[in-house]
Amino acid sequence: MPNMRVITSGLEFPEGPVVMRDGSVILVEIMGERLTRVHPDGRKETVAKMPGGPNGAAMGPDGKIYVCNNGGFGWTDINGSWIPGPVKHPADYLGGKIQRVDIQTGDVETVYDRCGAFELNGPNDIVFDRQGGFWFTDPGKRRARDADAGAIYYCKPNDGGIVEMVHPMDRPNGIGLSPDEKTMYAVETPTCRAWAFSLSAPGVIQPPAKAYRRDKGLVIAGLGGYQMFDSLGVEASGNICVATLVKGAITVIAPDGKIVEQVDTGDHMTTNIAFGGPELKTAYITLSGKGQLVAMDWPRAGLPLNFLNK
Amino acid sequence: MPNIRVLATDLEFPEGPVAMPDGSVILVEIRGQRLTRVYPDGRKETVAQMPGGPNGAALGPDGKMYVCNNGGFTWTTVNGRNVSTAAASDYKGGSLQRVDLQSGKVETLFDKCGEFKLNGPNDLVFDKGGGIWFTDLGKRRARDMDMGAVYYVKPGLKEIIEVVHPLQPANGIGLSPDEKTVYVAETPTARVWSFEISGPGQIAPVEVIYRGEKGKPLAGLGGYQMFDSLAVEANGNICVATLASGCISVIAPDGKLVEQVPTGDVATTNICFGGPELKTAYITLSGKGQLVAMDWPRPGLPLNFLNK
């Protein structure tokens, strides 16, 4: 792959990259069950052990890294790549949680493990709004014969409580906010669809006037063929850049749903993208099949993230 | 819609149409919980009461109508049309049944496969040996859902095997003209999978694409569309009833999209072929509650025990 620099290898299913101001990248290793800091020279340092399945991460208003923990996967080696699936024994699943990590001490604290009557299943990706509230996806867990319905949650600022905002969805994964924070984007894995939800206020969804069923948002894009969406990063332009499985690419989708481009990455299990570097024009991408964190020069700048870049 | 003739109205979620040699169309009404015959003049006659959720139908070698029963749905109304949601409150499981068309008697052949109950049998097709391939959509519950599956009942109809599991909710099913391929449409993903048949109820292994898929993803529509049931043309094209966009999507055996024929109903659920040279398409419009007919540019594939 031209324009691709391997920052580090040997990562045990990397995800949730957060590009820090000092140039290091903090990310999770789902199979490795840890929060890891990757230094620019490729050196890896464990920030915290995170039993279960740390799946997504974002910098919070308090300087702590907030982590979606999916409770754990079972792993199968298929053609040299570790593929996540249902846990092999029920006791291996530790339950879904939102946690926060003090990156100086490595202390891990659970913030939420349920919403009302229901336990969280498998939280995946997370984004903070400028008020300090955050949205996260929960694709649910798959078991041998059945699977949870997926959901999107909103957590109010200052540990103000958790609300289930959209349920059911088909395994929602990546989540992000438009530059003006009036739209929340969530992408579904098996259906390879990108949904846009109108926000009438922080944490408040305004459903569309007319929907096919009782959809609370609109599908802005659905890739055909056999591809699936994983996590995403947003550009300053408002484009959403979605890690695309099977195809092994980043799919760039304009706010009106048009496909701008697909940038091949060479890994079927391309799982996430985050922006950093000068002018936020470096894309850091987690290649989970190869176990690598790579960097690519990006033609357009990433969107500054709350509490991280601004 | 030009070229659409409404044959019957007020059907309570029609599905599983079978164009009979006498020109009538037998179909199920899922919400109506019955097997119904629609005469060419539009008159409807109940063939059998079918509690639960009769979902798909095919004529068997014995002249009986074989029916996939999904066990029943809970129903709601969205924008004036019937919409199925989770399993019915009195849901006890799904089954494969058969109906004597003269007496209306219904008997259950299978309600489980090995240790697992059938969840939501949906669509079925007979191979020339008299075996049955059928899909199980699974059921949705408030917080979770079953994986989809494909089953096969061996000729003689005494033995059932699970051939493909898991799938996303599996809906339409059909055979290629040479019966060497079985096609399965997945609902939420709007994908058609093809599986190479290596023997009765057996599929040939495929090279791993990504994570253990058992077949080939033949086609996947983009956008916001979902697949329901299907029928095959004589040339091998697969015609899939398509939800949300409200059309029949015609997919060539190589996976290319030939055309999408709009039907005017977002809940277009199934298609079958009949009439002279099998060039009449009978389509169930489940949002409007109608059975309609359209002249079709290419003939349908003759079905075992129905057309040949």
What is the predicted ipTM? 0.94
Instruction: Give the separation between CA B33 and CA B288, rounded to whole angstroms.
Output: 17
pLDDT digits (tens, 9 = 90+) for A98-136: 999 999 999 999 999 999 999 999 999 999 999 999 999
Specify the 3-state DSSP secondary structure of B26. Answer: strand
In this prediction, residues A24-31 reach a mean pLDDT of: 98
Q: Do A148 and B144 touch (CB under 8 A)?
A: yes
Report pLDDT for A213. 81
Residue B211, pLDDT > 90, answer no
pLDDT, mean over chain B: 97
A245 in reach of chain B (CB within 8 A): yes
In this prediction, residues B162-185 reach a mean pLDDT of: 97
Cβ-based contacts of A118 with chain B (< 8 Å): 143
Q: Do B144 and A140 touch (CB under 8 A)?
A: yes
Report pLDDT for B1. 66
**DSSP state string for chain A:** -TT-EEEE---SSEEEEEE-TTS-EEEEETTTTEEEEE-TTS-EEEEEE--S-EEEEEE-TTSPEEEEE----EEEEETTEEEEES-SSGGG----EEEEE-TTT--EEEEESEETTEE------EEE-TTS-EEEEE---B-SSEEEPEEEEEE-TTT--EEEEEEEES-EEEEEE-TTSSEEEEEETTTTEEEEEEEEETTEEE--SS-SSS-SSEEEEE--SS-EEEEEEEBTTS-EEEEEETTTEEEEE-TTS-EEEEEE-S-TTEEEEEEESGGG-EEEEEETTTTEEEEEE-SSPBPPPTTTT-
In this prediction, residues B171-184 reach a mean pLDDT of: 98
Cβ-based contacts of A213 with chain B (< 8 Å): 78, 83
pLDDT digits (tens, 9 = 90+) for A54-77: 999 999 999 999 999 999 999 999
Report pLDDT for B159. 98
- Within 8 A by CB and 6+ apart from A86, the residues are A73, A74, A141, A142, A143, A144
Q: Do A226 and B220 touch (CB under 8 A)?
A: yes
What count of other Cβ atoms lies within 10 Å of the Cβ of residue A55? 33
In this prediction, residues A200-223 reach a mean pLDDT of: 94
In this prediction, residues B196-200 reach a mean pLDDT of: 96
pLDDT digits (tens, 9 = 90+) for A138-148: 999 999 999 99
A118 in reach of chain B (CB within 8 A): yes
Report pLDDT for A135. 99
Instruction: Give the separation between CA B61 and CA B69, rounded to whole angstroms.
Output: 19
pLDDT digits (tens, 9 = 90+) for B1-30: 679 999 999 999 999 999 999 999 999 999
Cβ-based contacts of B83 with chain A (< 8 Å): 213
Of B165, B210, B224, Cβ closest to residue A268: B210
Q: Do A224 and B116 touch (CB under 8 A)?
A: no
Q: How distant is the Cα of A227 from the closest Cα of chain B, in angstroms?
A: 9
Residue B97, pLDDT > 80, answer yes
Specify the 3-state DSSP secondary structure of B160. Answer: strand
Pick from B144, B184, B247 the residue to mutate for testing the A interface (most A CBs within 10 Å).
Answer: B144
pLDDT digits (tens, 9 = 90+) for B83-96: 998 999 999 999 99
Kindly state the percentage of chain A with pLDDT values over 90. Answer: 96
Instruction: Give the separation between CA A95 and CA B96, rounded to whole angstroms.
Output: 37
Report pLDDT for A80. 86
Residue B277 φ/ψ, nearest 5 degrees? 60, 20
Closest CA to A231 of A262, A266, A272, A191: A272
Q: Do B212 and A78 touch (CB under 8 A)?
A: yes
Of B78, B116, B222, Cβ closest to residue A145: B116
- Within 8 A by CB and 6+ apart from B22, the residues are none
Report pLDDT for A89. 94
Instruction: Give the separation between CA B257 and CA A171, rounded to whole angstroms.
Output: 27
In this prediction, residues B139-165 reach a mean pLDDT of: 97
> CA nearest B245 in A: which residue?
A212
**DSSP state string for B213-263:** -SSEEEEE--SS-EEEEEEEBTTS-EEEEEETTTEEEEE-TTS-EEEEEE-
In this prediction, residues B261-275 reach a mean pLDDT of: 97
Instruction: Give the separation between CA A217 and CA B239, rounded to whole angstroms.
Output: 29
Residue A204, pLDDT > 80, answer yes
Report pLDDT for A79. 84
> CA nearest B222 in A: which residue?
A224
Pick from B113, B224, B242, B249 the residue to mutate for testing the A interface (most A CBs within 10 Å).
Answer: B224
Report pLDDT for B285. 98
Q: How distant is the Cα of B146 from the closest Cα of chain A, in angstroms?
A: 4
pLDDT digits (tens, 9 = 90+) for A2-21: 799 999 999 999 999 999 99
Size of interface A-B (CB pairs under 8 A): 85
Report pLDDT for B298. 98
A227 with A259: CB under 8 angstroms?
A: no
Cβ-based contacts of B210 with chain A (< 8 Å): 226, 245-246, 268
Q: What is the radius of gyration, based on Cα positions, of chain B?
A: 17
Strand A150-155 to A146-148 pairing: unpaired
> CA nearest A84 in B: which residue?
B211
Instruction: Give the separation between CA B135 and CA B118, rounded to whole angstroms.
Output: 10
Instruction: Give the separation between CA A159 and CA A142, rounded to whole angstroms.
Output: 29
- Within 8 A by CB and 6+ apart from A304, the residues are A236, A280, A310
